[in-house]
Amino acid sequence: MSLTDEKVFDLEKKALAIRKSIITMLIEAGSGHTAGPLGMADIFTYLYFVALRHDPKNPSWEDRDRFVLSNGHICPVLYATMAHAGYFPVHELMTLRKFGARLQGHPHREWLSALETSSGPLGSGLSQAVGMALAERITAGRTSPKQFYCFTGDGELDCGQIWEAAMLAGKEKIQNLTVVIDRNNIQIDGFTEDIMPLNPLADKWRSFNWHVQEIDGHNFRMIEEAFGQARAVFDRPSVIIANTIPSRGIPDFEGKFEWHGKPPQTDEEKKTALDALRTLSGKLKNEHSTL
């Protein structure tokens, strides 16, 4: 079902609130990743507020869908989205990376039980998601309604384990598995195509028997269509290559790999980030003033 204008506006407002939380928590922590979390805020918003079958008040609900974040370093967007969805109070986001806090620099399931997995070393998340999906097939059969989602970064595709898991999923035709790749073209020390070229990326996944879609990762209607198509594929796993802008929402930071792994630190950087998001808020209101 297509998103209405009102629903798109609602999702855009949620994504903006999540971006504001990401920046404020990074500033408070004084460390953490900026580019990936801001770039993936729209897709996380769609996942938690539309696509994912879950219950924030009952995180262990047996019939929930499963979500694995493979590139765990973008966890500020995961934490912010979970907080805005009701898993824990928004003010807890200010404990990011602090000693004794549940919200560490990489997600840790033993400290935050609403997580499906712990993640840190890159490349392992898809293997975890494939294992979960295969275990569900063994216990519940191919008609299980559960969906399994795994998000990865494009730089993470340098890890060979990702491709081993992709081959297995293609062989087993895991139809209820959807991978979203954050195709922002950067990694911590440069641009992906300079460090380890990935193109033709879509063709690689097709060759492993995956259903492939390429979308604008900031367009909620395209996101909606892609997730819908993925759920409708019954003979293979699906991958959505989401073209995103790193540090989306802060023009001075956008597209720069230098913001992959650092937060706004100087007074000027903090002001630039917060002012940009306030400007974006005003622009959003003006664009939807007739709703």
CATH of 5-287, one of 3.40.50.300, 2.60.120.200, 2.40.50.140, 3.40.50.970: 3.40.50.970
Side by side, which strands form the sheet with 211-216?
66-69, 148-153, 177-183, 238-243, 211-216
Looking at residue 267, its pLDDT comes to 98
Nearest 5°: the CA angle 30, 33, 35 is 130
155 Cβ contact list (under 8 Å, min separation 6)? 71, 122, 186, 187, 188, 192, 195
- SS3 string, 4-50, reads CHHHHHHHHHHHHHHHHHHHHHHHHHCCCCCHHHHHCHHHHHHHHHH
Q: Determine if the peptide bond prior to 200 is cis (ω within 30°).
A: yes
Q: Which amino acid is at 135?
A: A
Q: Is the Cβ–Cβ distance between 12 and 220 less than 8 Å?
A: yes
pLDDT digits (tens), the chain, 291 positions: 589 999 999 999 999 999 999 999 999 999 999 999 999 999 999 999 999 999 999 999 999 999 999 999 999 999 999 999 999 999 999 999 999 999 999 999 999 989 999 998 899 999 999 999 999 999 998 889 999 999 999 999 999 999 999 999 999 999 999 999 999 999 999 999 999 999 999 999 999 999 999 999 999 999 999 999 999 999 999 999 999 999 999 999 999 999 999 999 999 999 999 999 999 999 998 888 776
How far is it, in rounded angstroms, from Cα 95 to Cα 125? 25
Residue with tokens 């898993």: 87
Looking at residue 290, its pLDDT comes to 73
CA-wise closest residue to 230 among 42, 52, 26, 59: 52
Exposure on the CB side of residue 27, measured as CA atoms within 13 A: 16
245 Cβ contact list (under 8 Å, min separation 6)? 39, 184, 218, 254, 255
